[in-house]
Structure 1
Amino acid sequence: MAHRAGINRNYVGLLERAANSPTLDTIERLAQELAVDPVRFFCPSSEHSAQLAA
């Protein structure tokens, strides 16, 4: 996914571990690769789970 989004895979790992904060551009690129609305990155986990269950 990192390669397809044109993002360094080590940087994505830092984001996954919350060791770094993404830029808006990075959020947009990752959302595009995941085929989700970038707003979903800002939903609390419980809200996200409820959306998946619907």
Structure 2
Amino acid sequence: MRVINIDYRFLISIIELKSPGSEWSAQIKSLIMLKYDTKENLKAKDTFFYKKLEKILFAN
């Protein structure tokens, strides 16, 4: 399993650029906010969460 450490605001901006205002982007932003830690980093360690992000970020 891979671990990513990304600033959550950067990730949200990427999602908004790929599909502004869509229902799935709102769901993913909610998921991101659940993983938001006090250092303002996204620490995605569980496989489901990472796979979902990977699918969105690296989709053609």
TM-score class, shorter-chain normalisation, is 0.3 to 0.5
**TM-score normalized by the length of structure 2:** 0.34
**TM-score normalized by the length of structure 1:** 0.36
Q: Which structure carries more helix by proportion?
A: 1
Q: Which structure carries more strand by proportion?
A: 2
Q: Which has the higher contact order (CA 8 A, sep 6+)?
A: 2
